[in-house]
Structure 1
Amino acid sequence: MSTNLAKYEKVMNYIKKAISSGEWPIGSKIPSQRKLAELLSVNRSTIVTALEELKIEGLIEGVMGKGTMVVNNTWTLLAASPPSWDESAPFSAPKPLPAPVLETDGVKAPEHFIELSKGELAQDIFPTDNMQQVMMRLAQSLEPFGYEEPKGYLPLRKAISDYMRKQGTDITPASILIVSGAIQGLQLISAGLLHKGSTVFLEKPSYLYSLHTFQSAGMNLSGLPMDEEGLRADALLKKAMAGPASVLYTIPCFHNPTGILMSEARRKELLDVCAEKRLPVIEDDIYRELWIDSPPPPTLQSLDVNGHVLYIGSFSKTLTPGLRIGWIAGSEQVIERLAEIKKQTDYGSSSLSQLVAAEWISSGLYEQHLSFVRKELKKRRTAALHALDEHMSDLAEWDIPAGGFLIWLRMKEGIQLKDIYSKAYRAGLSLNVGSIYTGESVQAIRLSYGYASIEEFEQGIRKLRQIILEDN
């Protein structure tokens, strides 16, 4: 028995290697059972067993009149041959984030801070009345909580499936995993699919440089340049050709920290490169619904025909970060793998939070809330741009974001930001310096106009100007 098992596993590994190397690309027909049996010196029954297992894993598929075809070669392949827990060490202690100079130098913290750093919506945008109504409705029919199934509360997954279908992504509830926010989604991907020493391609600057999720799992970050349309596809192609590739991580909608919205043309260019180089993609789309001027282009996942894209969504930026509910959407085989890893770590996201999220989406309240959020963000963006024009136009440059709540403030030549964080702290101003998004020194600041009031934002920009002028 063990000998037979080893034989069909040998056949499976041979086929997986041929697929991952590109020798057998997506859409190609694999050799017949007889040829494979002769090539690998095994019985046809062993070949049949191996092929059936590979079909279950989603790598190959029998097509009427054509034979057995390769149908996947990225995430499904990674899920079929996952890293060991020892190798990936996914939850080792992360590198510490750059710490502010708080009271370590003897400076007393100001009583009040103007928050220009928080990547979340203001408390007065939080839908208190509607949330109370939702909680009251749920309380009337509340039953004892138990552990949800590994993929998450089914009515919530159905609601998200319907919601994503409206966005143009045809995804079934079975292909959705509920997670405790987007960060846990990234942790599960690094733990369950990627191998130590892998390279993660990403925009530079990027949120991941401040998060350190993948570095903590033993992976390397490789930054790529952006332009006004988003991550440059030519740079990705050049980098992918230069060395071993692993995965592309991208924030195509209202990118953190730059606020850039990736164009539809650029999205298609990136997918073409990823198809050519068999590069799986993590699409972090948590800002998508925060559009202000017009809806963003279709998701990468909806444009993808090769199964290369894993999609991450969340309610943290649109509803409330305290709900701690996000999701991953991908092929069912990959979601099964990630659900198994999640089950081993936390037995499932909060049942109450999942009930609340399901009620918000299915009742239509979520879309109503998003309409209100967009109007509020438009007011705040207008005021933020006015404040910057009045107080920073001679010191910095910036782009007008089409959505989200972030502005990447780039200092003009000759303007330095030495010790800007600690100086701002002493002045009662909280902001994020650009270096935490690049891994190196950069003369830029990430500003958020989503949290501070309009009046406070203007006060904060005036303070920032004064601080910069003191050293320049």
Structure 2
Amino acid sequence: MKFKQTLPQIDLPLDMIHLGIGQPSNYLLPSKEMEKAADHCLSKGNNFFLAYGEERGNSNFRGTLAEFLTAQYQKPVDPDQLLITNGNSQALDFICTLFTCPGDTVLVEEPSYFLALKIFADHKLNPVSIPVDDNGLMTDVLEERLETINPAFLYTIPTYHNPASVTLSLKRRQELIRICAQKNLLVVADEVYHFLNYSDDPPPSMGTWNNICPLISLGSFSKILAPGLRLGWMHTSEEVIKKISGSGLMVSGGGLNPFTSEIVNSVISLGFLKTHIQRLRNVYRQRIEIFCDQLKKYLPDQVMFKVPKGGYFIWVKFLDGVDTNTFRKETQKQNVDFYPGNFFSHQKELKNYMRLCFSFYDEKILAEGARRLGKVISDNLS
């Protein structure tokens, strides 16, 4: 059975089902809403957003975004605590540029987002891992590590983790803030999945503690609106924002994305973003139910995973000694693919895991992908 899909910027056969792709389906990208929002902002008769902008970002947009985040978090967010970015990848790279030097130590979770690890490698940073369990980053291990090392920052994905899908509990968030406040350690919290909750409500955003310890919460419209916008934000203290906005890049460039920001300002003001996020929740909730049911049906009993409560990913665990790389070529021959667990370990461990994603394909294709994957795995583990 073949399902024709266009895979943007991914060189794969058209009937390949790549269960590693972590982006929205093309049909979930809100082109009509974006068109209306562009008309809305361009019809105001004020084209200030076509000029160089403020270093912190479009002030109209920061005000609207602050109101949106305040309503979502149910805690006040001030526009002066926000700085506009080109999305999380650019923000992470920028943080490395301003807050680290080559050879510095950074703390990362094990597992962690594999492209963040690549950014840290580009800056020649030395990652030290902190393990993750069902309640997120293990703060007792963090405290122990900090007795002997002095890292530049800690990178964490606290809510609906990529790839592990776990969420840092409220108790551990409070512990993390206490520890990092005592050590004056910068926390970089990647919170791009915070609004994509399907069966629970996450704890408060890490950004709400930015007045207690050095902390930068990263948000992005890539997962909740459209990745092609290349638009995100930092939620942090005014002190940190002053340092970042005074950098050469910001002063020379006049801020980031003033035009796109104004369009998304209209997206939020017109109520489209809130409606779109709810649509995503409904779609992804249904995909999770069908995909997980099919995985349970086709994967061998010794293969384990938990149904995600939010985010994009399913973290699949195999028995110790299994290396998922050994059968990846075989799955590719059957036109199904995944990302092996060692991608998400700076030590190239976690070989007995794989990351699956349900955000790109509809239910029918996910079901077929589970069948193909299950057959290859069953044949290799029998």
Partner of 1:471: 380
* Secondary structure at 1:397 match in 2: coil
Partner of 2:301: 394
Partner of 1:187: 93
Q: Which of 52, 62, 87 is the equivalent residue of 1:147?
A: 52
Aligned counterparts of 1:422 and 1:210: Cα–Cα separation in 2: 25
Q: Which of 181, 192, 197 is the equivalent residue of 1:275?
A: 181
Q: Structure 2 vs 1, CA of residues 110 and 427 (structure 1 numbering), >3 Å: closer, same or farther?
A: farther
Q: Which of 155, 164, 168 is the equivalent residue of 2:69?
A: 164
Aligned counterparts of 1:117 and 1:369: Cα–Cα separation in 2: 23
Aligned counterparts of 1:419 and 1:353: Cα–Cα separation in 2: 44
RMSD of aligned Cα (Å) = 2.1
**Aligned pairs, number:** 366
**Corresponding position: 1:334 with 2:240:** yes
One-letter amino acid of the structure 2 residue matched with residue 391 of structure 1? Y
Contact 2:108 2:155 in 1 (8 A): yes
Contact 1:207 1:437 in 2 (8 A): yes
Partner of 1:136: 39
Partner of 1:378: 285
* Secondary structure at 1:222 match in 2: strand
Write out per-residue CA displacement over residues 98-154 of structure 1, whole angstroms, 9 at most, x where no aligned residue.
Answer: xxxx99xxxxx6332213111112122222332222222234336371111111111
**Corresponding position: 1:357 with 2:260:** no
* Secondary structure at 1:161 match in 2: helix
Aligned counterparts of 2:35 and 2:174: Cα–Cα separation in 1: 42
Q: Which of 177, 184, 204 is the equivalent residue of 2:83?
A: 177
Using the aligned pairs only, state the percent identity.
26
Contact 1:201 1:222 in 2 (8 A): yes
Aligned counterparts of 1:157 and 1:210: Cα–Cα separation in 2: 26
Partner of 1:227: 133
Aligned counterparts of 1:464 and 1:365: Cα–Cα separation in 2: 37
User: 1:210: Cα distance to partner?
Assistant: 5.6
Partner of 1:444: 353
**Corresponding position: 1:116 with 2:22:** no
Which protein, 1 or 2, shows the higher relative CO under an 8 Å CA cutoff with sep ≥ 6? 2
The structure whose Rg is larger is: 1
**Corresponding position: 1:238 with 2:144:** yes
Contact 1:229 1:263 in 2 (8 A): yes
* Secondary structure at 1:295 match in 2: coil
Scaled by the length of structure 2, the TM-score of the pair is: 0.89
Structure 1 stretch 386-395 or stretch 323-332: which is displaced more?
A: 386-395
Q: Structure 2 vs 1, CA of residues 124 and 209 (structure 1 numbering), >3 Å: closer, same or farther?
A: closer
* Secondary structure at 2:147 match in 1: helix
Q: Structure 2 vs 1, CA of residues 146 and 421 (structure 1 numbering), >3 Å: closer, same or farther?
A: farther
Aligned counterparts of 1:299 and 1:210: Cα–Cα separation in 2: 20
* Secondary structure at 1:461 match in 2: helix
Write out per-residue CA displacement over residues 142-201 of structure 1, whole angstroms, 9 at most, x where no aligned residue.
Answer: 637111111111111111222222214433323321110011111111111223322211
User: 1:205: Cα distance to partner?
Assistant: 0.5
Partner of 2:5: none
Partner of 1:285: 191
Q: Structure 2 vs 1, CA of residues 135 and 209 (structure 1 numbering), >3 Å: closer, same or farther?
A: closer
Q: Which of 179, 195, 202 is the equivalent residue of 1:296?
A: 202
Q: Which of 364, 371, 379 is the equivalent residue of 1:455?
A: 364
* Secondary structure at 1:311 match in 2: strand
Partner of 2:317: 410
* Secondary structure at 2:216 match in 1: strand
* Secondary structure at 2:195 match in 1: helix
Scaled by the length of structure 1, the TM-score of the pair is: 0.73
Write out per-residue CA displacement over residues 79-103 of structure 1, whole angstroms, 9 at most, x where no aligned residue.
Answer: xxxxxxxxxxxxxxxxxxxxxxx99
Aligned counterparts of 1:428 and 1:148: Cα–Cα separation in 2: 47
Q: Which of 130, 135, 158 is the equivalent residue of 1:252?
A: 158
* Secondary structure at 2:158 match in 1: coil
Q: Which of 179, 189, 201 is the equivalent residue of 2:107?
A: 201
